[in-house]
């Protein structure tokens, strides 16, 4: 039997030409048996073809190996619906292109390299969480040693049991250079390849559909506790209770929660499918059931507006770390900018399958509750905290304490957005002010999102959501009804009878004239359930500021803001009044301290 020596042949080729070598490794589904099993690989250089054995191709310059589900193979895997191409790893940066039609890969290199080609079954974690909905244009990613990589969907890229929530990004698909860093020439993801923050426009985190165990149905003061959560499969509703809301036409909205089968009155320890996973208006009977929602990883910023407050419009939205959160915009402006994403060509989204909108109050609650569970900041055994230096009793997401403002003598004024993804030196760090009204206080190099900043994440690591404690306030689509109950109280939001969005885009709350009447809250929105002290403006868990929407005289505090602005610490000499459970309503106007967040769902 004639033995082929790939080393000699490659040396001949390299001596003859020093230009770029293109190595194409193509499986011919025909297996040739000559003493032992062989597959036919092609190594294309100009018009020459070289044949090698199936086992990893070795020469002094090139090493190629194939792995399936993490196991090194002695032959190229056969084409199958169950086996997916995951990506590749090349030590010297060579690029590989996969062709699903003829089940082949082509390796391009101009230097010696060692490459692994990855195949496998679709990865799903063991938590029971729904697999992330990867809409057209949404690219899965993972993190390693503070760096960002395109996900290999056949290998671990998220794990809710390990507090690693699924992440994905949007990029500029009209820029060929950027697109080529995420996709190969055939449109396949370049799994396992490192990408830069500068290549990304927006970052999102997947909140899978879940039910939670009720713990405060009687509107009493309750101590802070871990929220018990169970993920649900698909769009199934396995909670045993159902809540309906009735607008009585007199300013009151009745929440009626009963057992789905027996119609018994709801009680603590009942299980409730979180209402954020039903895309509908508060008083509507039904809506679109969702397997999960994608939530902006950071507060929104505008790359064309560096100090966050200039202009009355939002020309572009970034959802990135180390940016100035956009502020001084009406809720109407924020909502319209959020909706425009789905039809902006560079994101390559399909408005047929996806809906982009400004975060609702109930969606904020869904993130807060997941964070307050063993999938968020608590250890799997429920006895500890994953946040630096904290135990079960003190466990809390740390504050983003950067403030864009100005100091004039003894007075301090907020002048604009904060620095996204940053963290203070402690959980309740006092605000970090500057004396420049054109830019926020920058983040210390050790306090950015990839380092100490992970303490400001909802998971205590890079996989969570940031800026939910401190930073700017987050306006959400949660609004009080008018006194006659016929419509939302627009206040200074920019909305009116003619331009208010569909009911499914906002949560509606009963009219009230006091900000401590929390019984008007809804189960799941992290307002009335998370009070340690009733009728107390600072009665939220962790002592966080808790005001409900209210109207009194000229105080049109009709729209919820969540998270607590970082400069609560200025007024109280520390930042404990700010937090993920904090609520503090406002008029909905172009406020200097208020930003917003984006959510992606099924259309």
pLDDT in tens, 288-301: 999 999 999 999 99
Residues 332-349 have pLDDT tens digits of 999 999 999 999 999 999
Mean pLDDT lowest for which of 4-13, 68-77, 426-435? 4-13
Query: What's the whole-number mean pLDDT along residues 306-327?
Result: 84
Question: If you average pLDDT over every residue of the chain, what do you get?
Answer: 85
Residue 34 domain-assigned?
yes
Tell me: pLDDT of 379 over 80: yes
Among 251, 256, 244, which residue's Cα sits nearest to residue 282?
A: 244
Polymer length in residues for the chain: 603
The tokens for 285 are 């009977």
The pLDDT assigned to 5 comes to 31
443, burial (CB in 10 Å: exposed 0-12, middle 13-18, buried 19+): buried
Whether residue 482 is contained in a domain is answered as no
Q: What pLDDT does residue 368 have? A: 98
Q: How many CB atoms lie within 10 A of CB 271?
A: 17
Burial category of 408 from C-beta neighbours within 10 Å (exposed 0-12, middle 13-18, buried 19 and up): exposed
> Which of 88, 83, 142 is closest to 115 using CA atoms?
88
User: For residue 104, what pLDDT is reported?
Assistant: 81
* For the chain, percent of residues with pLDDT exceeding 90: 65
Question: How far apart are the C-alpha atoms of 179 and 568, rounded to whole Å?
Answer: 42
Q: What DSSP string runs through 303-345?
A: TT-TTS-SSSS----BB-SSSBBP-S--HHHHHHHHHHGGG-G
Tokens of 117: 């080609």
**Does residue 71 belong to any structural domain of this protein?**
yes
CA distance 366 to 320: 21
For the segment 399-426, the average pLDDT, to the nearest whole number, is 75
Give 75-133 as a DSSP string: SPPPP-SS-EEEEEEETT--EEEEETTTTEEEEEESS-EEEEEEEESPP--SS-PPPP-
Distance CA 106, CA 115 (A): 12
pTM listed for this prediction: 0.90
Q: Which of 248, 115, 99 is nearest to 187 (CA)?
A: 99
> Residue 310 domain-assigned?
no
Banded pLDDT at 47 (limits 50, 70, 90): very low
Residue 71: Cβ within 10 Å count: 8
And the tokens for 379? 């250890």
Look at 113-117, 265-269, 313-317, 430-434 and tell me which has the smallest mean pLDDT. 430-434
State phi, psi for 277 to the nearest 5 degrees: -95, 15
518: CB partners within 8 A, 6+ apart: 219, 527, 528, 531, 534, 546, 548
pLDDT score for 171:
98
Structural domain tally of the chain? 1
Which range (46-50, 285-289, 440-444) has the least confidence? Answer: 46-50
More reliable by pLDDT, 439 or 253: 253
Residue 522 lies in a domain: no
Ramachandran angles phi, psi of 531, nearest 5°: -95, 130
**How far is the C-alpha of 17 from the C-alpha of 24, rounded, in Å?**
17
Q: Which of 18-22, 268-272, 304-308, 432-436 has the highest mean pLDDT?
A: 268-272
In a domain, residue 33? The reply is yes
Q: What is the pLDDT of residue 206?
A: 98
User: Residue 31's domain spans which residues?
Assistant: 6-119
Assigned domain for 38 exists: yes
Q: If DSSP codes are grouped into helix, strand and coil, which group holds residue 445?
A: helix
- Residue 407 in any domain: the answer is no
Alpha helices in 164-204 (DSSP H): 176-182
């Amino acid at each position: 039997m004639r033995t082929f020596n790939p080393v000699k042949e490659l040396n001949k080729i390299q001596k003859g030409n020093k230009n770029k070598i293109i190595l194409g490794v193509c499986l011919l589904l025909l297996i040739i048996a000559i003493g032992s099993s062989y597959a036919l690989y092609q190594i294309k250089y100009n018009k020459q073809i070289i044949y090698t054995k199936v086992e990893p191709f070795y020469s002094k310059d090139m090493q190629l190996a194939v792995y399936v589900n993490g196991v090194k193979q002695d032959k190229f895997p056969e084409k199958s619906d169950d086996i997916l191409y995951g990506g590749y790893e090349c030590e010297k940066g060579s690029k590989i292109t996969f062709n699903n039609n003829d089940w082949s890969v082509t390796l391009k290199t101009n230097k010696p390299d060692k490459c692994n080609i990855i195949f496998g079954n679709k990865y799903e974690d063991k938590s029971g969480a729904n697999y992330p909905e990867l809409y057209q244009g949404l690219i899965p990613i993972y993190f390693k040693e503070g760096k960002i990589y395109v996900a290999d969907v056949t290998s671990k890229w998220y794990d809710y049991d390990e507090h690693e929530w699924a992440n994905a990004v949007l990029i500029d698909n009209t820029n060929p250079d950027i697109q080529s860093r995420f996709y190969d020439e055939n449109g396949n993801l370049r799994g396992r390849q490192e990408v830069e923050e500068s290549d990304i426009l927006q970052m999102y985190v997947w909140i899978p559909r879940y039910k939670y165990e009720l713990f405060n149905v009687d509107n009493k003061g309750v101590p802070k506790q871990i929220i018990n959560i169970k993920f649900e499969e698909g769009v199934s509703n396995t909670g045993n209770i159902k809540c309906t809301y009735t607008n009585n036409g007199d300013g009151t909205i009745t929440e009626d929660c009963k057992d789905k089968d027996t119609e018994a009155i709801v009680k603590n320890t009942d299980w409730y499918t979180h209402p954020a996973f039903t895309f509908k208006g508060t008083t509507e009977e039904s809506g679109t059931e969702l397997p999960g929602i994608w939530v902006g990883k950071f507060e929104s910023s505008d790359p064309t507006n560096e100090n966050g407050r200039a202009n009355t419009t939002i020309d572009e939205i970034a959802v990135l770390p180390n940016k100035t959160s956009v502020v001084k915009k009406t809720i109407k402006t924020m909502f319209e900018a959020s909706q425009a994403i789905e039809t902006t060509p560079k994101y390559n989204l399909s408005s047929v399958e996806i809906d982009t909108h400004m975060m609702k109050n109930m969606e904020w609650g869904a993130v807060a509750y997941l964070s307050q569970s063993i999938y968020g900041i608590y250890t799997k055994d429920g006895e500890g905290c994953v946040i630096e230096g904290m135990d079960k009793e003190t466990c809390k997401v740390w504050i983003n304490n950067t403030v864009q403002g100005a100091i004039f003598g003894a007075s301090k004024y907020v002048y604009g957005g904060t620095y996204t993804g940053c963290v203070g030196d402690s959980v309740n760090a006092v605000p970090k002010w500057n004396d420049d009204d054109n830019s926020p206080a920058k983040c210390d190099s050790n306090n950015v999102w990839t380092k100490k900043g992970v303490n400001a994440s909802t998971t205590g690591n890079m996989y969570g959501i940031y800026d939910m404690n401190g930073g700017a306030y987050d306006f959400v689509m949660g609004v009080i009804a008018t006194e006659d109950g016929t419509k939302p109280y627009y206040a200074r939001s920019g909305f009116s009878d003619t331009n208010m969005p569909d009911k499914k885009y906002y949560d509606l709350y009963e009219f009230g004239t006091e900000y401590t009447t929390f019984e008007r809250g809804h189960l799941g929105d992290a307002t009335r359930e998370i009070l340690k002290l009733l009728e107390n403006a600072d009665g939220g868990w962790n002592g966080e500021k808790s005001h409900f929407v209210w109207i009194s005289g000229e105080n049109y505090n009709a729209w919820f803001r969540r998270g607590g602005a970082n400069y609560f610490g200025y007024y109280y000499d520390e930042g404990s009044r700010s937090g993920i459970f904090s609520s503090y309503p406002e008029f909905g106007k172009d406020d200097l301290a208020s930003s917003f967040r984006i959510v992606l769902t099924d259309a």
